[in-house]
Amino acid sequence: MTVETSTWATKKGLAQMLKGGVIMDVVTPDHARIAEDAGAVAVMALERVPADIRATGGVARMSDPAMIEGIMAAVSIPVMAKARIGHFVEAQILEALGVDYIDESEVLTPADETNHIDKHAFKVPFVCGCRDLGEALRRISEGAAMIRTKGEAGTGNIVEAVRHIRTVNAELRRLASMREDELFVAAKELRAPIELVREVARAGALPVVNFVAGGIATPADAALAMQLGADGVFVGSGIFKSEDPARMANAIVQATTHFDNPKILAEVSKGLGAAMRGIAMEAIPDAERLATRGW
Amino acid sequence: MKIGVLAVQGAFREHMATLAAIGVEGVEVRLPADLDGVAGLILPGGESTTMRRLIDRWALREHILELGRSGAPIFGTCAGMIVLSTEISGGEEPILPLLHAVVERNAFGRQLDSFETELQVPILGDTPVHAIFIRAPIIEEIGPEVDVLARLDDGRIVAVREKNVIATSFHPELAGETRFHRLVATMAAEHADPGEGSGRRPHPIRRAKAES
ipTM of the shown complex: 0.94
Q: Rounded to a whole number, what is the distance in Å from the CA of A63 to chain B's nearest CA?
A: 19
Exactly one of B173, B177, B181, B191 is catalytic; which is it? B173
State the pLDDT at residue A31. 96
Measuring CA to CA, which residue among B101, B95, B110, B106 is closest to residue B139?
B101
Q: What average pLDDT does this structure show over A78-88?
A: 98
Residue A159 and residue A162: Cα distance in Å, rounded? 5
Locate the chain B residue with the closest alpha carbon to A268: B57
Residue B201 and residue B196: Cα distance in Å, rounded? 6
Residue B134: its chain A contacts at CB < 8 A?
A: 10, 13-14, 17
Q: Rounded to a whole number, what is the distance in Å from the CA of A130 to chain B's nearest CA?
A: 23
Handedness of CA A59, A61, A63, A64 (dihedral sign): negative
Catalytic (active site) residue A82 = yes
State the pLDDT at residue B201. 63
| Pairs from B126-131 (Cβ < 8 Å, separation ≥ 24) | B129/B170, B129/B172, B129/B175, B129/B177, B129/B179, B130/B175, B130/B176, B130/B177, B131/B158, B131/B168, B131/B170, B131/B171, B131/B172, B131/B175
Q: Rounded to a whole number, what is the distance in Å from the CA of B182 to chain A's nearest CA?
A: 22
Residue B130: its chain A contacts at CB < 8 A?
A: none
Q: Is the pLDDT of residue B209 over 70?
A: no
Q: How confident is the model at residue B196 (pLDDT cuts 50, 70, 90)?
A: low
Q: Is the pLDDT of residue B198 over 70?
A: no
Q: What is the pLDDT of residues A254-279, one digit of tens each?
A: 999 999 999 999 999 999 999 998 89
Q: What is the pLDDT of residues A100-133, one digit of tens each?
A: 999 999 999 999 999 999 999 999 999 999 999 9
Residues in CB range of B209: below 8 A, 6 or more apart: B71
Residue A270 and residue B51: Cα distance in Å, rounded? 22
Tally C-beta pairs within 8 A across A and B.
126
Is B172 in the A-facing interface, judged by CB distances under 8 Å? Answer: no
Catalytic (active site) residue B100 = no
Residue B152: its chain A contacts at CB < 8 A?
A: 1
Q: Closest CB to B30: pick one of A72, A100, A257.
A: A257
A102 by DSSP, 3-state: which?
A: strand
State the pLDDT at residue A161. 98
Q: How confident is the model at residue B203 (pLDDT cuts 50, 70, 90)?
A: low
Residue A256: its chain B contacts at CB < 8 A?
A: 9
Alpha helices in B70-212 (DSSP H): 79-84, 179-192, 204-211
Residue A186 and residue A197: Cα distance in Å, rounded? 8
pTM greater than 0.90: yes
- CA-CA-CA-CA torsion for A253, B31, B180, B21, nearest 10 degrees? -90
Residue A252 and residue A248: Cα distance in Å, rounded? 6
Q: Is the pLDDT of residue B162 over 90?
A: yes
Is B14 in the A-facing interface, judged by CB distances under 8 Å? Answer: yes
Task: Round the average pLDDT of chain B to a whole number and report it.
Answer: 93
Q: What is the pLDDT of residues B61-87, one digit of tens each?
A: 999 999 999 999 999 999 999 999 999
State the pLDDT at residue A192. 97
- DSSP bridge partners of B157: B139, B151
Task: Round the average pLDDT of chain A to a whole number and report it.
Answer: 96
Q: What is the DSSP letter of A218?
A: S
Handedness of CA B65, B67, B70, B73 (dihedral sign): negative
Is B173 in the A-facing interface, judged by CB distances under 8 Å? Answer: no
Q: What is the pLDDT of residues A211-247, one digit of tens each?
A: 999 999 999 999 999 999 999 999 989 999 999 999 9
Q: Rounded to a whole number, what is the distance in Å from the CA of A281 to chain B's nearest CA?
A: 32
Q: What is the DSSP letter of B185?
A: H
Q: Is the pLDDT of residue B212 over 80?
A: no
Is B111 in the A-facing interface, judged by CB distances under 8 Å? Answer: yes
Residue B179 and residue A207: Cα distance in Å, rounded? 24
pLDDT above 90 covers what percent of chain B?
Answer: 89
Residues in CB range of A203: below 8 A, 6 or more apart: none
Q: Is the pLDDT of residue B186 over 60?
A: yes
Rg (CA), chain B: 16
Q: How confident is the model at residue B193 (pLDDT cuts 50, 70, 90)?
A: confident
Residue B115 and residue B131: Cα distance in Å, rounded? 8
Is B27 in the A-facing interface, judged by CB distances under 8 Å? Answer: no
Is B45 in the A-facing interface, judged by CB distances under 8 Å? Answer: yes
